[in-house]
Structure 1
Amino acid sequence: MAIILADSKIEKVNWETFREIELADDDLFIYELFDGEIMKRSAPSLIHQRISRKLLGKMDAYIEEKKLGEVFSAPVDLNLDEHNAFQPDLAFISKERSFLIEDDDYIKGAPDLVVEIISPGTVKKDRVIKKDLCERFAVREYWLVDPLNKGIEIYIMQEDKYVLHDLQEITGKISSTVLNGFELDLGHIFGEEIQEEK
């Protein structure tokens, strides 16, 4: 199922309608809502899932230890407004903003931090569409994880715009402003892939 809204006269799909769409049990695609248009993508690769698992493990351990809030991993619906909802690879909600967790069902509003892991078919979505949405809705920190180049970029909000806070590749350490004191060694995230290439 794909809904294309090329004609501006066609009514945009809203969040309520999007949530009510019935999908076949064997449908393995992921569906997201961008400016009222439903877009689908394939399930992520195993490399993508491996990196996501490692990131989640490191973040979750730190967040739990410091009692900072909760981190969620895909599939999880992030509803930003009536016509925009997507599934971030990871989303952190601080304990001060736990009101964003809607009936333990989905996230309603801008999380404190969003992580997107780039796949070959999601480069534009992650680098442009989702990044612009997170900037527009003032997500405090936006991470782009690039498995191909084994790098991580962190963008933070300054004067209502994203600026690059940190960029590391291969084996550097990257730090978060939202998760105060959290540092991530890229060798722990991309280590297996680096060894496989040697």
Structure 2
Amino acid sequence: MEAKDEKNIVNEPYTAYGSYSYADYLSWDLEEMVELIKGKIFKQAAAPRRVHQEVSGTVSNMLFNFLQGKKSKVFTAPFDVRLPVESKKNEDIYTVVQPDICVICNLEKLDEMGCVGAPDLIIEILSPGNNQKELINKYEVYEESGVKEYWIIHPSEKTLFTYTLMDGKYVPSKLYTIGHKVESTAIKGFVLDLEQVFEGLDY
């Protein structure tokens, strides 16, 4: 296949010319964030809006405080999560994502480049223009990779939807909103109070 300029490739979201690996990803010198999902390149949307950042900061701080003294860590984007299928070699990994928030309980999955293997909890915060990627593409790879819990926060609607992995398949929750306290099954004892998450948000 004829080589193509990576800077041109990533100007076309949800499109890739061929299939790319983490080894390719590491060789690119790009000014913007991209993700690989099953070898396809996905360009990140523009910088997250203020409300997105407020929600991310609030939730990640809650997790950070809860995890103090525990053998688990929380990370926020940009942070590479590699999801290998068989081999952990860079040239054999075709999915590299940057979740808004993730919690890793098995610290052996961490290396200097990020995380290799499924986090226990991933939280994605929806922004205009990226809903298809979060709701369809990432759902599939998170389920297939064994991410125990996948939470989706919709700031403008002030809602949270969770997926819990059971027997290899995600089981959806009801729709949570202000007034609900959501308990994690993957991070035992952690409860997210949506009143605190969405309180004071304006658009």
Query: Structures share a fold, TM > 0.5?
Result: yes
What is residue 47 of structure 1 aligned with on the other side? 51
For normalisation by structure 1, the TM-score amounts to: 0.87
Separation of aligned partners in 2, 1:13 and 1:34? 9
Cα deviation per residue 1:20-64 (whole Å; 9 max; x = unaligned)? 1012xxx3x321111212221222111101100000000110111
What is residue 32 of structure 1 aligned with on the other side? 35
Cα deviation per residue 1:128-152 (whole Å; 9 max; x = unaligned)? 1111110010100101011121011
What is residue 156 of structure 2 aligned with on the other side? 148
Runs of 4+ in 1 over 4 A off after TM superposition: 4-7
Letter in 1 for 2:19: K
Please list, as runs of the form range in 1=range in 2, the aligned pairs for 1:171-190 lying within 5 A after superposition: 171-190=179-198
Cα deviation per residue 1:151-195 (whole Å; 9 max; x = unaligned)? 1111111111000245311231111001112111111111012xx
Separation of aligned partners in 1, 2:151 and 2:136? 13
Identity %: 31
Separation of aligned partners in 1, 2:56 and 2:15? 33
1:116 to 1:2, Cα distance in 2 relative to 1, 3 A = farther
1:6 to 1:59, Cα distance in 2 relative to 1, 3 A = closer
Letter in 2 for 1:159: D
For normalisation by structure 2, the TM-score amounts to: 0.85
Contact 2:120 2:187 in 1 (8 A): no
Contact 2:161 2:176 in 1 (8 A): yes
Separation of aligned partners in 2, 1:87 and 1:6? 18
Separation of aligned partners in 1, 2:176 and 2:71? 25
Higher-strand-fraction structure? 1
Secondary structure of 2:122's match? strand
Separation of aligned partners in 2, 1:190 and 1:163? 25
Tell me the CA shift for residue 72 of structure 1: 0.5
One of 79, 97, 101 as aligned partner of 2:82: 79
What do you get for the CA RMSD once the two structures are aligned? 1.8
Farther-moved stretch of structure 1 (157-166 vs 76-85): 157-166
Q: Tell me whether 1:91 sits opposite 2:95 in the alignment.
A: no
Q: Tell me whether 1:21 sits opposite 2:24 in the alignment.
A: no
Secondary structure of 1:18's match? helix
Contact 2:181 2:192 in 1 (8 A): yes
Separation of aligned partners in 1, 2:173 and 2:160? 11
Contact 1:150 1:170 in 2 (8 A): yes
1:2 to 1:112, Cα distance in 2 relative to 1, 3 A = farther
Contact 1:176 1:183 in 2 (8 A): yes
Farther-moved stretch of structure 1 (144-153 vs 37-46): 37-46
Letter in 1 for 2:61: G
Farther-moved stretch of structure 1 (76-85 vs 33-42): 33-42
Letter in 2 for 1:15: Y
Separation of aligned partners in 2, 1:52 and 1:84? 23
Q: Which runs of 5+ in 1 are unaligned?
A: none
Separation of aligned partners in 2, 1:176 and 1:13? 34
Q: Tell me whether 1:101 sits opposite 2:105 in the alignment.
A: no
Cα deviation per residue 1:110-144 (whole Å; 9 max; x = unaligned)? 11111100111111111111111100101001010
